[in-house]
Amino acid sequence: MSIPRVLSIAGTDPSGGAGIQADLKSIAANGGYGMAVVTALVAQNTKGVRSVHLPPVTFLAEQLAAVSDDVEIDAVKIGMLGSAQVIDTVIQWLDRVRPAIVVLDPVMVATSGDRLLDPDAEQALRDLISRAQLVTPNLPELAILTEEPPAQSWAEALRQAERVANRFSLLVLAKGGHLEGELAPDALLGGGRVLEFPARRIITNNTHGTGCSLSSALATRRALGEDWPLAVEHSKRWLTESIQHGAALDVGQGHGPISHFAGLWARGGTETSPSPEQLREDWWQQIAGIRAETDALAFVRQLGDGSLSREDFLWYLAQDALYLRDYARALALASQLAPSPEEQAFWAASAAGAIEAELVLHQSWIPAGTMFQTEASRSTTEYLNHLHAAGESYSVLVAALLPCFWLYQDIGTRLQQGSHPEHPYRSWLETYADPEFAEASEQAIGIVTRTAAAANASERLRMLGAFQRSAEHERAFFAAPTLRKDAAGGKRFCFEPRQKL
Ligand SMILES: Nc1ncnc2c1ncn2[C@@H]1O[C@H](COP(=O)(O)OP(=O)(O)O)[C@@H](O)[C@H]1O
Ligand SMILES: Cc1ncc(COP(=O)(O)O)c(N)n1
């Protein structure tokens, strides 16, 4: 679904709560790209309107043309117009451009009671209405549109709204914000149908710009493909939440604004997610110390130059075989938890690859049957227990699985440079420097960093922690063969039962 381009044609509010300033926030908060053509410059704040300046309508026409000559407009919201001349200019533009969605908020009087439309422009406004699909009058505006006294009850307001809907053949959203009492209902009327949207009145001073914000939300949501009733339901739910959080803004001394982004801030935060590429660099840097210490281990150095004793190497391979058996099970669990078929297939293939490649490698080194008689060492057990604990969430599990790809690929590539035909551990060195393993390692890095980029900040931190712990376990695993201090196994609880081959 593309992002709808929504144009507000309205007056300004330098204190940011109503008019065009509110419209742009509302359009953004509801998922659209907001644009704005200014009809009137209004010197106002939360306490009231001081003065209104209407720029020449020729300039208004230029603003409108500048937008529509360049940008495809998916929806238009019309707010304060100010004068009959302004209305005529907008009518001419609408008749030329014919935007698919037009919502008209017939702004006449501000919440503060100040007039925002010349009294002699009311007839011109009636001419404009039939160009809209939806009009959103409050109770005083409904009275002016029907040329009747203001409704004294919600039932009377609905009758007036129905008359407007029939007279102008469009939908009317009657708004109950100005009712006395505990309720603030709205109702959508048109084509002989009435859909009510009941709501409790929120006790608050922050109602400046509610009408502007609601009509912009409606235009945006309709342009997103919602039908009108759904657009009203969603817009009102969003508006209610934004009214509730208005007081926390502490803006002005009169009728304060609503908090257009309060819900988004609470649910999504304001942190910009790092890109997968940045995470790749950052995580690799985070384990730079562990990597350097791993490189400096006697086992790794001796493996590289071929001076490692055969006994140490076979001990390592036996531990590695035990490790890989359960690592493959953790990979299979990642496949089970994967959110997409591509990731599911990748982890399943890696599980199979880990079992197959390792069995081949180990069988070529170790006399048949001997390796599985070995007890898992403390370092093997602790690493596997860590993977097991990570298995509670897909994102943390894949982060924990990554060092076994990435570190082995990195060390393997570097050690392989010291390989030669007589090197005693040549086939081992070549397995981990294999281009296929490099490709798998790249894919794993891609999946994990994309998952981390899409995660929220705390989940990302848990992922990094699991990744770092695994890197530490890798270091311990490489240290174990020459230290052999930890030859006695710890208690294992993971991935049971293990069968003997
Ligand atoms: N105190 C309130 N509590 C809950 N909803 C409100 C409150 N005040 C206004 N609304 C809602 O805000 C929207 C704008 O209403 P209203 O105040 O009638 O129009 P306007 O802002 O154009 O004067 C409507 O959906 C209305 O129900
Ligand atoms: C420029 C401008 N347009 C409209 C309103 C009405 O605001 P509300 O949404 O509170 O009725 C306003 N105060 N200023």
Q: What are the boundaries of each domain within the chain?
A: 5-268, 276-488
pLDDT at 486 > cutoff 50? no
Q: What is the 3-state secondary structure (H, E, C) of 333-351?
A: HHHHHCCCHHHHHHHHHHH
pLDDT computed for residue 367 by the predictor: 63
Domains 5-268 and 276-488 share a fold: no
**Inter-residue long-range contacts of 218-221, CB under 8 Å, 24+ positions, other chains counted:** 218/77, 218/103, 218/134, 218/136, 218/173, 219/6, 219/27, 219/32, 219/75, 219/76, 219/77, 219/101, 219/102, 219/103, 220/4, 220/6, 220/26, 220/27, 220/30, 220/31, 220/32, 220/75, 221/30, 221/31
Query: What is the C-alpha end-to-end distance of the chain, expressed in Å?
Result: 53
8 Å CB contact between 22 and 13: yes
Residues annotated as catalytic are 175, 207, 209-212
Task: Specify the pLDDT at position 149.
Answer: 93
Average pLDDT over residues 62-79: 98
Percent of the residues in the chain that have a pLDDT greater than 70, as a whole number = 93
- Please compute the mean of the pLDDT values over residues 324-351 and round it to a whole number: 96
Please compute the mean of the pLDDT values over residues 394-399 and round it to a whole number.
98
Range 5-268 has CATH code 3.40.190.290: no
Q: Compute the average pLDDT of residues 92-112.
A: 92
- Of 233, 164, 150, 222, which Cα lies nearest the Cα of 198? 233
Q: How many helices (H) and strands (E) does the chain have?
A: 19, 10
Rounded to the nearest angstrom, the distance between the alpha carbon of 32 and the centre of ligand 1 is 22
pLDDT of residue 361: 61
pLDDT at 203 over 70: yes
20-24, 63-67, 487-491: which has the minimum mean pLDDT? Answer: 487-491
**Atom 15 of ligand 1, nearest CA residue:** 177
111 Cβ closer than 6 Å to some ligand 2 atom: yes
pLDDT tens-digit series, residues 275-300 = 999 999 999 999 999 999 999 999 99
Class of domain 276-488: mainly alpha
The closest of 173, 171, 184 to 136, measured between CA atoms, is 173
Between CA 303 and CA 313 the distance in angstroms is: 8
The whole-number pLDDT of residue 494 equals 37
Q: Are 145 and 106 in contact (CB under 8 A)?
A: yes
pLDDT at 190 over 90: yes
Ligand 1 and 207: CB distance under 6 A:
yes
Enclosing H/E stretch for 28: helix 19-29
CB atoms within 10 A of CB 347: 25
Report whether residue 81 contacts ligand 2, using a CB cutoff of 6 Å: no
- Check whether 336 has a pLDDT greater than 80: yes
Q: For residue 463, give the 3-state DSSP assignment.
A: helix
pLDDT in tens, 8-54: 999 999 999 999 999 999 999 999 999 999 999 999 999 999 999 99
Q: What's the rounded Cα separation, in Å, for the pair 232 and 199?
A: 12
Ligand nearest to C-alpha 214: 1
Per-residue pLDDT band for 192 (boundaries 50, 70, 90) equals: very high
The per-residue pLDDT of the chain, averaged, comes to 91
Average pLDDT over residues 48-70: 97
pLDDT of residue 366: 65
pLDDT digits (tens, 9 = 90+) for 124-157: 998 999 999 999 999 999 999 999 999 999 999 9
CB of residue 208 inside a 6 A radius of ligand 2: yes
